[in-house]
């Protein structure tokens, strides 16, 4: 059996009850239509809304911007849009995840449609308002996951400080920045003395504990602007932006002292740990960031040669 | 998929439709922005997918990094519009569009989307009004932000082989603002446009 429906009441019903905000305004910004969704979330009944100015009813609306937007629909007879990503909401409505949401109010995507009369003129603008709170929550969860993933890919698993890849990228950036804008930069490379003996005599778990504790002490010693990373094995490095060689040597000396004086325990037994360090400052004849690492490595080697537990500043050979 | 190129008559008619649309667009943009908008004579051509990046680079020029916004249009005609502008261009429009001076990142994006939407709608409404077709639009979205021109479209990820490209350049008198509008219609969509143009020619 087929049934002939009069479509006008049906359309009225759909517009009225659909779970999308629908309202219509005229050139004077008076409300002409206000559907059930808008009633529910705004608390304003259609009977009270129709015939009143939308800005009188909702003084918190961003008037200057919204008037311009709606005006562009009248003048251009053009669609217009707002997205929650740039403008979280048009109307401050509650949303349906008050418990699990973590956002303050309903996120909305709005579409402004020009309503043409028979002559083709636009006398009304119809606004549809979609609740995209869920989408916004999922997107911020995804962004958060990506951010944590990106951070994890920059970090050393054992010590939690930055890894070699991140160190080299940062050093390269810092190097380019100094070359472009001037200023200076120093670099410290350091190595735990006789680390192999710790591993051989006390086992790898003891070695891991030494690396973890050393990294912790280093990160407490450096300044906020410095970047600390594990360069590999028992080697660590510090990038010191805007720091002259003298300052870098002072910090290197502090690192050396703090490690020497620290009590690093494994199985309640103290493990004496010292480090050797090489320090270098970026000079005009350094052509690439890799050379800084190389220069610091040469100075580090001299510290080792001279009996370890020492800081050596790199001196270019004439 | 091979496509039948537009005949000379169809191309002429389309060019005429676009010229009319440009006039209307310039007029309505001037009213919205309170500024005189200069529009170039639109160019029509068929591009192959492998040359689309080159074509865009030729149009935009090898300038600094650009920002691109895309927007779909559908109904009687079907395709995507891409608006490409450089950074100086974006700033220039802020006050014209009723934004405050100090734009944060989100406000700047919204401005870009707003402006692109206005530019796209101005032209396409002119086209549909002349052709007597009807058109709807998707919300605009940012497809590339501050990146080299070559990165706007990756031809390897596209499913079409030929597209009709309509190109319009906008600039604002006495201001640095310049932007490029590309309307791309792929394969079957070209046939719909061809039909709309034929109907239009018959009706006059």
Please name the member of A75, A82, A120 whose beta carbon is closest to the beta carbon of B32.
Answer: A75
Q: What CATH number does residue B153 fall under?
A: 3.40.1550.10
Instruction: Please tell me which of the candidates A64, A65, A81 has its beta carbon nearest to residue B139.
Output: A81
Question: Is A69 within 8 Å of B114 when comparing Cβ atoms?
Answer: yes
Length of chain B: 204
Q: Which residues, in sequence order, are CB contacts of A165 under 8 Å at separation 6+?
A: A153, A154
A78: nearest CA partner in chain B: B121
Q: Is the pLDDT of residue A91 over 90?
A: yes
Which among A234, A244, A260, A290 is annotated as catalytic?
A234
* Mean pLDDT within B82-92: 75
Q: Sorting pLDDT into bands at 50, 70 and 90, what band is A68?
A: confident
B159 in a structural domain = yes
B62-84: average pLDDT: 88
Report the b/e string of A231-250 with b at 16+ CB within 10 A. beebbbbbbbbebebebbbe
ipTM of the complex: 0.80
Side-chain-side CA neighbours of B82 within 13 Å: the count stands at 21
Tell me if A124 sits within 8 A of A54, measured CB to CB.
Answer: no
Given CB atoms, is B134 within the 8 Å cutoff of chain A? no
**pLDDT score of B95:** 64
Position B1 in a domain = no
Residue A279 has pLDDT above 80, yes or no: yes
Averaged pLDDT of chain A: 92
Residue B165 domain boundaries: 8-203
First and final CA of chain B: distance in angstroms?
Answer: 33
pTM here is 0.72
A85 in contact with chain B, both atoms CB, cutoff 8 A: yes
Q: Is residue B3 part of a domain?
A: no
pLDDT of residue B201: 86
Residue A318 above 50 pLDDT?
no
Architecture of domain A7-140: 2-Layer Sandwich (3.30)
Give me the residues of A, 7-66, that contact B with CB < 8 A. Answer: 64-65
Whether A128 and chain B come into contact, CB under 8 Å, resolves to no
pLDDT at A21: 97
Instruction: Provide the pLDDT for residue A26.
Output: 96
Partner residue opposite B121 with nearest CB, options A76, A87, A120: A76
Of chain A, the percentage scoring pLDDT greater than 70 comes to 97
Q: Å from B80 to nearest chain A CA?
A: 15
pLDDT of residue A278: 97
Please tell me which residue, A169 or B144, carries the higher pLDDT value.
Answer: A169
> What pLDDT does A101 receive?
65
Contacts of B141 in chain A (CB under 8 A): 83
Confirm or reject contact between B141 and chain A (CB < 8 A). yes
Asked if B97's CB is within 8 angstroms of A71's CB, the reply is no
Residue B157 pLDDT exceeds 80: no
pLDDT tens for A196-237 read: 999 999 999 999 999 999 999 999 999 999 999 999 999 999
Residues in CB range of A123: below 8 A, 6 or more apart = A26, A27, A115, A117
Alpha helix (H) ranges present in B97-187?
A: 105-131
Domain A154-313 classification at class level:
alpha beta
pLDDT of residue B110: 86
Out of B98, B125, B136, the one facing A64 most closely (by C-beta) is B98
B109 and A85: CB-CB below 8 Å?
yes
CA distance A83 to chain B (A): 8
* Cβ of residue A121 closer than 8 Å to a chain B Cβ: no
Domains A7-140 and A154-313 share a fold: no
Rounded average pLDDT over B31-57: 83
Domain residue spans of chain A? 7-140, 154-313
Q: What is the DSSP string of A170-213?
A: HHHHHHHHHHHH---EEEEEEEETTHHHHHHHH-HHHHHHHHHH
Residue A234 appears among annotated catalytic residues = yes
**pLDDT band per the 50, 70, 90 thresholds, residue A104:** confident
- Distance, in angstroms, between A127 CA and closest chain B CA? 13
CA distance linking residue B42 with residue A53, whole number of Å: 42
Answer for the pair B140, B120: CB distance below 8 angstroms, yes or no.
yes
The total number of structural domains that make up chain B: 1
Both tokens of A120, joined, read 């083709």
Q: Are strands A275-281 and A311-313 parallel, antiparallel or unpaired?
A: parallel
Do A78 and B122 count as a contact with CB atoms less than 8 A apart? yes
What CA–CA distance (Å, rounded) separates A65 from A79? 16
Say if B198 is an interface residue toward chain A (CB within 8 Å): no
The strand ranges marked E within A209-288 are 227-232, 235-241, 264-266, 269-271, 275-281
């Amino acid at each position: 059996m087929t049934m002939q429906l009069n479509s006008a009441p049906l359309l009225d019903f759909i517009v009225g009850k659909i779970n999308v905000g629908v309202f219509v305004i005229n050139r004077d910004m008076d409300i002409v239509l206000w559907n059930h969704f808008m009633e529910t979330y705004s608390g304003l009944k259609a009977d009270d809304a129709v015939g009143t100015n939308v800005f009188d009813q909702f003084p918190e609306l961003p008037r200057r911007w919204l008037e311009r937007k709606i005006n562009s629909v009248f003048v251009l007879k053009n669609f217009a849009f707002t997205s929650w990503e740039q403008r979280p909401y048009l109307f401050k409505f509650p949303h349906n995840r008050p418990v699990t949401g973590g956002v303050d109010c309903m996120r909305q995507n709005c579409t402004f449609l020009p309503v043409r009369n028979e002559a083709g003129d636009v006398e009304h603008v119809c606004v549809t308002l979609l609740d995209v709170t869920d989408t916004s929550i999922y997107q911020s969860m995804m962004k958060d996951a990506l951010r944590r993933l990106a951070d994890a890919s920059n970090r050393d698993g054992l010590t939690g400080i930055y890894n070699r890849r991140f160190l080299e990228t940062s050093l390269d950036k810092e190097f380019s920045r100094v070359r472009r804008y001037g200023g200076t930069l120093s670099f410290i490379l350091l190595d735990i003395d006789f680390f192999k003996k710790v591993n051989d005599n006390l086992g790898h778990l003891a070695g891991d504990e030494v690396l973890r504790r050393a990294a912790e002490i280093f990160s407490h010693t450096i300044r906020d602007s410095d970047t600390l990373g594990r360069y590999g094995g028992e080697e660590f490095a510090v990038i010191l932006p805007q720091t002259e060689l003298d300052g870098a040597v002072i910090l290197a000396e502090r690192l050396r002292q703090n490690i020497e004086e620290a009590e690093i325990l494994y199985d309640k037994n103290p493990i004496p740990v010292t480090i050797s360090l090489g320090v270098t400052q970026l000079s005009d004849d350094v052509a690439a960031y890799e050379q800084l690492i190389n220069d610091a490595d040469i100075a580090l080697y001299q510290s080792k040669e001279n009996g370890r537990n020492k800081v050596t500043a790199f001196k270019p050979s004439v | 998929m091979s496509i039948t190129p537009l005949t000379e008559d169809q191309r002429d008619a389309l060019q005429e439709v676009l010229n009319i649309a440009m006039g209307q667009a310039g007029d309505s943009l001037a009213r919205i922005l309170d500024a005189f908008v200069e529009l170039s004579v639109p160019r029509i051509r068929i591009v192959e997918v492998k040359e689309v990046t080159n074509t865009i680079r030729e149009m935009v020029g090898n300038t600094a990094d650009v920002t691109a916004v895309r927007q779909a249009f559908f109904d009687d005609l079907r395709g995507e519009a891409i608006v490409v502008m450089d950074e100086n261009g974006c700033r220039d429009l802020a006050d014209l569009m009723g934004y405050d001076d100090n734009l944060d990142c989100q406000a700047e994006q919204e401005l870009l989307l707003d402006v692109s939407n206005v530019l796209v709608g101005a032209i396409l409404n002119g086209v549909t009004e002349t052709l007597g077709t009807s058109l709807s639009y998707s919300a605009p979205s940012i497809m590339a932000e501050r990146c080299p021109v070559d990165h706007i479209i990756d031809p390897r990820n596209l499913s079409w082989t030929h597209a009709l490209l309509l190109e319009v350049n906008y600039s604002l008198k006495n201001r640095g603002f310049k932007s490029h509008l590309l309307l791309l219609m792929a394969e079957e969509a070209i046939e719909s446009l061809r039909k709309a143009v034929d109907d239009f020619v018959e009706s006059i």
